Amino acid sequence: MNTDKYRVKVGKKVKLQDFPTSYNGSLTKEEVYEQLLPANQEKLAQYQEALYAENRRGLIIILQAMDAAGKDGTIEHVFSALNPQGTVVTPFKEPSDEELDHDYLWRAFRALPRRGNIAVFNRSHYEDVLVTRVHNLLPKQQIPEFLVDDQIWNRRFREISNFEQYLTDNGFTIVKFFLHISKEEQKQRLLARIEEEEKNWKFSASDVSERRYWSEYQEAYEDLLAHTSTESCPWYVIPADRKWFSRYLVSEIMVDVFEKIDPQFPELPPEEKAHLERWKEVLENDD
């Protein structure tokens, strides 16, 4: 599949209305769930093993979305293929007092993966140019007042890009997904959380009240997508009205990303290989 059309081009203005929320190609849900997605999961698991064995590079996957767009389901259906031993999923919730007492990237630093590992950010440092912006939460962030001016969001875009470039330059690849859902589909999913008892636990009244800020959020997303999609750390806008397609597309992009990283199992030096032969003999002669 050509995943390039879902990538946000560098330095271009972004109008989310130009990006589809729904898939209407020829793939079917059945072939995705029965063949294509499992095949990709298998590939991801193999790549991950090599990444882990190589122990040089790391991967950071960022998931951002409006409420009910399917972040949790994507983690469950795509990243469940990964070995928990080398994967850490971190949810970025409302910051704690301790987190608020630091700069906004502090908690992102703390969630970074070791070499050989994969970090999945369920929300991320991007909340600090989203919810913080839409709800004007800066006064809560203890930042000196003179630093809060009309350039703060542009500065944060630059800071985030620098942070991500720094990680790239140190061997960590960053992939960013925005699950793009329509307002109508979100309404249906929130209704389902009310109407279907087994989904009640997912319902949160604030998800409904946040809908009043829908267009402010979309604008904040457009701004950050335009400013922080770079050649090395691109954003992908994933049509998310059909869960099966968004999961599959994320898995396709992940396979592409791994193909580029192409992690290699380490080759043992000849003297260690000879060592193995000797230990084999010892074991074979053991009772």
Q: Residue 251 burial (CB < 10 Å; 0-12/13-18/19+)?
A: buried
Q: Which of residues 157-176 bind Mg ion (CB under 5 A)?
A: none
Q: What minimum distance in Å lies between the beta carbon of 88 and ligand ATP?
A: 16
Q: Of 128 and 252, which CB lies nearer to ligand ATP in the complex structure?
A: 128
Q: What does the alpha-carbon distance between residue 175 and residue 171 come to, in Å, rounded to a whole number?
A: 13
Q: Give min distance, CB of 149 to ligand ATP, in A.
A: 19
3-class DSSP assignment, residue 62: strand
Number of residues that bind Mg ion (CB under 5 A): 1
Residues forming contacts to ligand ATP in the complex (CB under 6 A) are 67, 71-72, 92-95, 122-123, 127-128, 131-132, 137, 202, 204
What are the structure tokens assigned to 250, written together? 């994320």
The β-bridge relationship of strands 235-239 and 58-65 is unpaired
Q: Provide the token pair at 51.
A: 């990444």
* Nearest residue to ligand ATP on Cβ basis: 127
In the complex with ligand ATP, the residue whose CB is nearer, 57 or 247, is: 247
Q: For 166-215, give the DSSP string.
A: HHHHTTEEEEEEEEE--HHHHHHHHHHHHHSGGGGGG--HHHHHGGGGHH
The residue whose two tokens read 């906004």 is 104
CB of 48 to ligand ATP, least distance (A): 24
Instruction: Tell me which DSSP letter residue 221 carries.
Output: H
CB-wise, 41 or 124, nearer to Mg ion? 124
Residue type, 216: E
177 binds, among ligand ATP, Mg ion, none (CB under 5 to 8 A by kind): none
CB contact set of 222 (below 8 Å; sequence gap of 6+): 13, 14, 15, 16
Q: What is the footprint of Mg ion within residues 47-86 (CB under 5 A)?
A: 67
Q: Which is nearer to Mg ion, 67 or 127 (CB)?
A: 67
Cβ closer to Mg ion: 67 or 185?
A: 67
Which residue lies nearest Mg ion, judged by its C-beta?
A: 67
CA atoms of 159 and 154, how far apart (whole Å): 9
Cα 251 to Cα 245: distance, rounded to the nearest angstrom? 10
Cβ 53 to Mg ion, closest distance in Å? 37
Each residue 5-34 as x (binds Mg ion by CB under 5 A) or -, in order, gives: ------------------------------
From the CB of 205, what's the least distance to ligand ATP, in Å?
A: 11
CB of 240 to ligand ATP, least distance (A): 12
Q: Which is nearer to ligand ATP, 102 or 123 (CB)?
A: 123
- Positions in the binding site for Mg ion (CB under 5 A): 67
